[in-house]
Structure 1
Amino acid sequence: MGGPSTLPEVGDFLKNLFMDRDIIQLPFQSVLGPLIAKRRTPDIQEKYGQIGGGSPILKWTRKQGDMMCAVLDKICPESAPHKAYVGFRYANPLTEITLEQMEKDNLERAIAFTQYPHYSCTTTGSSMNAIYKYYAERNITTKLNWSVIDRWGTHPLLVDAFVHLIEKELESIDPEIRDQVIILFSAHSLPLRTVNRGDPYPAEVGATVQLIMSKLNHANPYRLVWQSKVGPLPWLEPATDKAIESYIKSGKKHFILVPIAFTSDHIETLHELDIEYGEDLAKKLGVETYRRLPALNDHPIFIEALADLVSNHLKKGPRVTGQLLSRCPMCVNETCGKCKNWFSTMCK
């Protein structure tokens, strides 16, 4: 999705978000979307102010891409040089601007590499739709040779990166209470309406969690919980904050929060997990141990995972998976169908 790098960008970021029907469906959206964005802007600006005046997601995404390409140039010299482009949905650099630049740069091949390890129609799906709509709405025939990496939540090196960070965090905790620590894997929630249409996101996040805990020999109790709900409709539960509250009532006071579906720091980690839950809620409830696992950011195993994913994709494919080309069983999004047809043609 991206994030506003400065406070003045918050309004446009929210407007773009609330206008995207792939993630939020509102009646009279062209009118209500901007109104809701305008109303929420001051509160969101205040939150970004508390984490330094903007989101670091662009900094981290660019750094991750550059580090990945440096590795790729060494292990895949036959396709070098490699260059990473960042295309966000709601903040600069917007996907449309990035695609325009890519077309100007006379590239031979492009890989749409989602930075969401777990596929959802609201995230990766929306980003793929944005690529399709860029060409369809402008009636542009691209010369780029496209392929797609659409999900990678079970990649062994991604799992290893999380395992390494969790083991390191557990080692820093007093051995007397270490086995009492509950590991809460916190992922961005999703409206149940989307889940009920067949969105694979909850299952894919759960698969990552299971692989991690298997490597940790299930040494600690753990749960998958959900954060960042927006609006009054039902979303995936249990909510992260409500889970902590419930555990406290049952006498559990030691927690490690793992941002499992986020690959870099941004407002959901730096404000929601660190400030709203780690400072405000934890102090209010009397939590004795609250640790938030560092985001993957530039962790060397994570960078190796990114490079390995692209390297294997270039050498072995597939250019596009059948899973990406398959619509959810209850899909009602016409753009989604057109997008998948476009990618099936472009990725032959």
Structure 2
Amino acid sequence: MRGRPAGSRALPHRWGCVAGWCWAPRLGGWRGGFLVVLPPEEPRSRAGLSVGANMAAALRSAGVLLRDRLLYGGSRACQPRRCQSGAATAAAATETAQRARSPKPQAQPGNRKPRTGILMLNMGGPETVEEVQDFLQRLFLDQDLMTLPVQDKLGPFIAKRRTPKIQEQYRRIGGGSPIKMWTSKQGEGMVKLLDELSPHTAPHKYYIGFRYVHPLTEEAIEEMERDGLERAVAFTQYPQYSCSTTGSSLNAIYRYYNEVGRKPTMKWSTIDRWPTHPLLIQCFADHILKELDHFPPEKRREVVILFSAHSLPMSVVNRGDPYPQEVGATVQRVMDKLGYSNPYRLVWQSKVGPMPWLGPQTDEAIKGLCKRGRKNILLVPIAFTSDHIETLYELDIEYSQVLASECGLENIRRRSLLMETHCSRRPWPTWSTHTSSPRSAAPHS
């Protein structure tokens, strides 16, 4: 095993990684991460479905894993390896100009100056239907997510054409995405737990960094710099790594410092994936068992578990993106935990356009199962950690209501998303392990 240096000079982008410990050649060795799992409230019913997306007001217990320091900075800055060439688009320059205004601070309880910041990275979603076009325009201009001919012209055109359809979908789920609300609740519970577990790095403050809606990642970094943090953790909210999601967010951090022409004043660490963390797997398994209990006893063993993940274009997969393998690893670990008690499939949703994407598609799999008389299905969103348009509209309405009625399904349910904390406050390596004895922890699988 190669040795692990104490620091690094640049924010890493694409790493080879297993279960939270990542081999980072540019940084000279293995690097690790941490996981905080937060509780839902009791599930609520939505049109006969188990949505279960509410979070309990108090954090009952959780596991935290944070290993090894990654220092962003040093005597010189190195450009990270990119998901694809030309990722610094004209859109990035436009966003930099727009950020000249001072964004609204992400207010949190307490008035102590924070020492450690956790930047919660995600795609984000429009909170109102009026924000949909701007959201889509940023999305279609992101070359880490997709490449289009004359993208600076075609991207805005596609966004404008798709806006009315997507606005109607958001109206059907209440008028906007709840992802910011849930991320805030997760962040509040996370920093409360970290203040308790790691007082020597407290106070902790969470920051929300979205790619396509406010607060944008760049706006969050500006606030972190103004707060004068000692250290910062870029914490992806995607359990499985993809260049199109986590990679895009990490590129945004790099581009911010490159464009403003200065080095960060805080020491950065990165948690870029956690697909097979035991706590994550246990929470998936526990939720699935609870949902299976809602099926008629005589049907329970024949329920088909459909693990549904957001699809990717095959052009991205063929470049070596690790996302499908990491999603598959999560599914395998969950089914292993369940003892392979039920038939299951890994399926893919949200395909857009005529080009080849990962398959089989979720809706086609449901139709195929119906034709074979398999009419009891449990949908498990395996790559999401909070509700948004893909779960609340696509899974809950398009598939579980409209398609289920057309196919004549007997029972279809969706597993809730936010993880419960009865997955325990076990003696996982903690923040103090990460900061005070970085070499004492072994890779976690």
TM-score when normalising by structure 1: 0.87
Say which one has the larger Rg: 2
Q: What letter is aligned with 2:142?
A: D
Alignment of structure 1 residues 98-247 onto 2, 5 Å: 98-247=220-369
1:5-154 alignment runs, 5 A limit:
5-154=127-276
State the alpha-carbon separation in 2 of the partners of residues 169 and 53 from structure 1: 28
For the residues of structure 2 that align with 1:277 and 1:122, how far apart are their CA atoms?
Answer: 25
Computed over aligned residues only, the root mean square deviation of the Cα atoms, in angstroms, reads 1.9
| C-alpha displacement of 1:303 | 9.5
Unaligned stretches of 5+ in structure 1? 319-348
3-state DSSP class of the match of 1:252?
coil
Please report how far the alpha carbon of residue 315 of structure 1 lies from its aligned counterpart in structure 2 after TM superposition. Answer: 5.5
SS in 2 for 1:4: coil
How far 1:314 sits from its partner (Å)?
4.4
Give the partner amino acid of 1:190. Answer: L
The correspondence of residues 188-337 of structure 1 with structure 2, limited to 5 A, is: 188-296=310-418, 299-301=420-422, 313-314=434-435
Cα offset for 1:68? 1.0
Farther off after superposition, 261-270 or 66-75 = 66-75
> Counterpart amino acid of 2:216?
L
> Higher strand share goes to which structure?
2
Q: Secondary structure at the match of 1:177?
A: helix
Q: Deviations over 1:161-213 (max 9, x none)?
A: 11111010111211100011000000000111111111110111111111111
Which has the larger share of helix?
A: 1
2:358 partner SS: coil
SS in 1 for 2:210: coil
Alpha-carbon deviation of 1:94? Answer: 0.5
How far apart are the structure 1 equivalents of 2:242 and 2:424?
A: 23
Counterparts in 2 of 1:253 and 1:90: CA distance versus 1, 3 Å: same
User: What's the counterpart of residue 345 of structure 1?
Assistant: none
Identity %: 60
CA offsets 1:138-182 (integer angstroms, 9 cap, x no match): 212211101101110111111111111101011121110001100
Q: Whole-Å Cα distance in 1 between the matches of residues 423 and 260 of structure 2?
A: 36
Contact kept in structure 2, 1:86 and 1:98, CA below 8 Å: yes
Q: Structure 1 residues 273 and 315 mapped into 2: Cα distance closer, same or farther (>3 Å)?
A: farther
Provide the rounded CA distance (Å) in 2 between the counterparts of 1:100 and 1:231: 36
Instruction: Give the counterpart letter for 1:193 in structure 2.
Output: S
Offset at 1:311? 6.3
SS, match of residue 146 in structure 1: strand
Q: Structure 2 stretches of 5 or more lacking a match?
A: 1-122, 440-445
User: Which residue identity is paired with 1:9?
Assistant: E
Question: Relative to structure 1, is the Cα distance of residues 304 and 99 closer, same or farther in structure 2, using a 3 angstrom cutoff?
Answer: farther
Instruction: Quote the Cα distance in structure 2 between the aligned partners of 1:262 and 1:135.
Output: 29
Q: Pick 1 or 2: higher relative contact order, CA cutoff 8 A, min separation 6.
A: 2
2:214 and 2:355 mapped to 1: Cα distance?
Answer: 29
Runs of 4+ in 1 over 4 A off after TM superposition: 301-305, 307-318
Q: 1:170 to 1:317 in 2, by over 3 A?
A: farther
Checking the alignment, whether the CA contact within 8 Å between 1:149 and 1:313 is kept in structure 2 is no
Q: Deviations over 1:276-330 (max 9, x none)?
A: 101111101111111011111x63357969x977666446658xxxxxxxxxxxx
Q: Is the 8 A contact 2:198 2:431 kept in 1?
A: no
Q: State the AA in 1 paired with 2:139.
A: L
Rounded to whole Å, the distance in 2 between the matches of 1:304 and 1:29 is 47
